[in-house]
Amino acid sequence: MTDLLLPLPILIAFATAILTFFFRKGPEGRWVSVAGSALMLVAGGMLLAEVLANGVQAAQMGNWPAPFGITLVADTLSAIMVVITAITALAVSVYAISDVTREMEAVGYHTLFHTLIAGVMGAFLTGDLFNLYVWFEVMLISSFGLLVMGGKRVQMDAGIKYVTLNLISTVLFLSGIGLLYGVTGTLNMADLHTAVQTADAGLITVIAMMFLVGFGVKAAVFPLFFWLPAAYHTPAFAVSAVFAGLLTKVGVYALLRMFTLVFTRDVGFTHGLLLWVAVATMVTGVLGAAAQTDFRRILSFHIVSQIGYMVLGLALYTPLALTGAVFYLVHHIIVKANLFLVSGVANRIAGGTNIDRIGGLYKGAPLLAFLFLIPAFSLAGFPPLSGFWAKFVLVKASLDLELWFVAFAALAVGLMTIYSMTKIWGRAFWAPHPGGTVPSLSSLPLSERVTLLVPIAFLASLTIVIGLFPEPFVQVAARAAAELLDPTAYLAAVLGGPS
Amino acid sequence: MEFLIALMVGALVAAAVYLMLARNVLRFLFGLLLISNAANLLIFASGGLTPESPPLIPEGAKLPPEGVANALPQALVLTAIVIGFGLFAFALVLIYRGYQTMGTLDSDEMRLAEPEDGH
């Protein structure tokens, strides 16, 4: 059963990609895309239920026993990430029905979208380091195509920066894999956990640094984040929403996985460094956002700032802190993808994303204003929304370790986030439109209104549900954190032996 | 033998970093090509070099004799070369399109997505 369940999300994504390629000339492709995403959500839900009921699941591909073959593993963290990826994919593929142009569909938007999702799913599920590299590449090449799709001049500029910086990170990751294989003779992550214990600690730390920089570029941490605010405001809105929700989080996931399972020989040094990286990421991201006036660029800098919180959870390396990091990941993906979707509707009805040149959205489209307020306040950490609990857990974890400065930075960055969100609110929603028009949702045809607003409302309601009933979500996150800190179950599931 | 390969990796990385520090993005791309080949060579060498002992299993035996070449790094390198080639081809076309639309290869002048006044 699990032999089928584990590769299923990846297989569905690839099958949808192939099907949509055949339907790229007609309108059927978008419905195939939505159906594929819905199936993925079902498969992801079944996987999560299985993992919650029976513990860590592993499947050996091609029946080659670990550590010789490629293993797919789902612990609680992987299963959560698969479900949240499917939720994002579903919301964005519904939104794309109205947002993506016929020209983009004809050159294969849906196909690239689903290969991107396949890459993300694969990265979350693999238990083999080189296989992780391959999934990263699947994801990367799809994202390249999506980023420049549409061919606007500004996209070419953004594309060059995004592509070049991500390729450097790829080379570092690949070299790290080569060196790690040279030292330990294995690439299976569970097997690596055992193998690095007897290897030269100094050498392992050097390799850990290569992985830190490689994944750090993907996750957009300080000082490696410059490609992100240069690129995320240029592609189609559906594309930027899925990028904002998922891509950097794959980098964070890889950091979480490698720095709890493999690189734990010198926690004082590696995680101490991560702590400073986290604080610097939070602060520079939020300060960068304060200087921007484009809706999506403000949001892009906030991605950077929020990545800092997740890395902070990893750096503190206590059960509570890791719980916070996992909870933050889930909260952030929902909220951030949603804010980018809102910016797309604002662009549609108000005629732009520069908040100095649009306005009147509250007067003309109060429903959109309400749907913006939920993720925006959640991002800033207002109770009782999901962001409040995420920040609360992380601040409490840093106070428990008596890291007053870190807790202060986390709270101050939250305050600065409110500043940015009120700036968007004040200028784009509250102030009158400088052109004198009143943007209204009724300027859109009914079918577009439905497909654009339903995903936004769906993600916003998830934010509220997590905020009002955080207990079960925190418990699942705590379970994921416990599995990260004590990989016994993970090792037993992959390598066999007593469980 | 390992020592020579290590030197070669070092030389490739040095040349690549020099090229990648240039403002001209085409030079940067050539640097990237060199450094990805350095990474491939690194993986190849990290599997251990065993000349003149191909990983063949004699007829009738179940295992290869001791000391044969490790085939895994070669498989990894092969995968990495293919992926690297695809990415390089894409990046080359992208830079060409970028040159057509922006009329420059100087990365300091590529300010379309990030205008200097922040708007």
pLDDT in tens, A179-220: 999 899 889 999 999 999 888 888 999 999 999 999 999 999
- What DSSP character marks residue A441? G
A350 closest CA partner among A424, A253, A245? A424
CB contact under 8 A, B42 and A144: no
Q: Residue A171 has what pLDDT? A: 93
ipTM of this model?
A: 0.91
Q: CA dist A472 to A55, A328, A463, Å? A: 17, 14, 14
CB contact under 8 A, B91 and A181: no
CB contact under 8 A, A178 and B46: yes
pLDDT tens sequence across B40-87: 999 988 887 887 778 788 888 888 877 788 888 888 999 999 999 999
Question: What is the phi/psi pair of residue A107, to 5°?
Answer: -95, 10
CB contact under 8 A, A164 and B35: no
Q: Is the Cβ of A156 closer than 8 Å to some Cβ of chain B?
A: yes
Q: Residue B59 has what pLDDT? A: 86
CB contact under 8 A, A182 and B32: no
A 111-140 near B (Cβ less than 8 A)? 130, 133-134, 137, 140
Closest partner residue to A153 (CB to CB) among B47, B94, B101 is B101
Q: Residue A497 has what pLDDT? A: 60
Q: CA dist B116 to A150, A285, A289, A439, Å? A: 24, 18, 15, 29
As a whole number of angstroms, the distance between CA A319 and CA A328 comes to 14
3-state secondary structure of A329: helix
CB contact under 8 A, A156 and B45: no
Residues of B in contact with A151 (CB under 8 A): 97
- Per-residue pLDDT for A16 more than 90? yes
Which of A112, A143, A148, A174 has the most B C-beta neighbours within 10 Å, making it the best mutation to test the interface with B?
A174
Mean pLDDT of A76-82: 94
Q: What is the DSSP string of A62-126?
A: GGPPTTTS-EEEE-HHHHHHHHHHHHHHHHHHHHHHHHS-HHHHHTTHHHHHHHHHHHHHHHHHB
As a whole number of angstroms, the distance between CA A335 and CA A88 comes to 10
Count the alpha carbons within 13 Å of A171 in the hemisphere toward its beta carbon. Answer: 26
Q: Is the Cβ of B96 closer than 8 Å to some Cβ of chain A?
A: no
Residue A271 near residue A315 (C-beta atoms within 8 A): yes
With cut-offs at 50, 70 and 90, classify the pLDDT of residue B101: confident
As a whole number of angstroms, the distance between CA B1 and CA A404 comes to 53
pLDDT tens sequence across A289-331: 988 888 899 999 999 999 999 999 999 999 999 999 999 999 9
- Per-residue pLDDT for A1 more than 70? no
Each domain of chain B, given as residue ranges in start order, spans 1-51+70-87
- Per-residue pLDDT for A121 more than 90? yes
Q: Residue A499 has what pLDDT? A: 43
As a whole number of angstroms, the distance between CA A461 and CA B33 comes to 47
B 13-52 near A (Cβ less than 8 A)? 20, 25, 28-29, 32, 35-36, 38-40, 42-43, 45-48
Residues of B in contact with A141 (CB under 8 A): 86-87, 90
